[in-house]
Structure 1
Amino acid sequence: MAINPTVSDLRKAAEISDDEINPAVDAVLAHVATEGYPLAKGWVLDLVETIRTNAAAAEALTTDKVAWKRNMVRTALLLVHPVKG
């Protein structure tokens, strides 16, 4: 696995599962603004920074298209590099 893995890398390596990613997506959609969202096995996501730095996800959150929002937020979370907390 990569030295600085993305959430997607961790998912591929079975470090985390979709069942652990989906609540993070739900948290973003519920407007939970946290810089330390516990993902799994000590991995932590900065939800605020993730959305701030992903223009497509930030733009999707301004629409009323529920499926589009979910897909763009999930994609943003899969691309982010969590930290080991």
Structure 2
Amino acid sequence: MATNPTVSELRKAAEITDQEIDAAVDAMLADLATEAYPLAKGWTLDLAETLRTNTRAAEALTTDKPAWKRNMVRTAILLAHPIKG
């Protein structure tokens, strides 16, 4: 695994589950300003930074299409690099 893995890589390595990713998506959709979100096994993700660095997800949040919002936020989270702490 890479020294700075993405959430997707951590999921493939069984460090993070789909349920934990779904919970992170729910947390981001509930509060866009969430910074330190605990994923699993000591991994933390800055959800606000994830949104700031993924313009497609940020754009999706301005639409009235809930499924599109959710899918784009999930994609942004899968591409994000959490911190082990």
TM-score by shorter chain over 0.5: yes
Counterpart position of 1:50: 50
Counterpart position of 1:35: 35
Q: Which runs of 5+ in 2 are unaligned?
A: none
TM-score, length-scaled by structure 1: 0.96
Contact 2:27–2:34 (CA under 8 A) maintained in structure 1: no
Across the aligned residues of Structure 1 and Structure 2, the Cα RMSD in angstroms comes to 0.8
Counterpart position of 1:75: 75
Q: 1:54 to 1:32 in 2, by over 3 A?
A: closer
Moved over 6 A (4+): none
- Number of equivalences: 85
**Offset at 1:32?**
4.5
For residues 43 and 61 of structure 1, the distance between their equivalents in structure 2, rounded to whole angstroms, comes to 25
TM-score, length-scaled by structure 2: 0.96
For residues 57 and 32 of structure 1, the distance between their equivalents in structure 2, rounded to whole angstroms, comes to 11
